[in-house]
Amino acid sequence: QVQLVESGGGLVQPGGSLRLSCAASGTIFKISGMGWYRQAPGKQRELVATLISGANINYEDSVKGRFTISRDNAKNTAYLHMNNLKPEDTAIYYCHADQRGTRYWGRGTQVTVSS
């Protein structure tokens, strides 16, 4: 069992920046990938970015060039650096970690981009 805790969300003005963190704990053997999804009010959950071991990274088109995903394997922590935030980035951001064929999810952290 893997537990994930997201942090770093909050309220930011358009054009601002935030860094989200996702710390994994519990029964860690080998996490093959970590990433981020988000869900805005009234919308379906969508992929933001994923990082698979071996540095294979995938970004949703609307965040390319603005968001950067990274991972500290020693700390079992993933990060999402978000720059030039837009109102449409407002959502609950969920971290996931993949291990032994199971995808684990955090409870989410709220990001609100508003003037």
Interval 6-50: pLDDT, tens: 999 999 999 999 999 999 999 999 999 999 999 999 999 999 999
Average pLDDT value for residue range 77-86: 97
In whole angstroms, give the CA distance from residue 83 to residue 99. 29
Average pLDDT, the chain: 96
CB 87 within 8 A of CB 14: yes
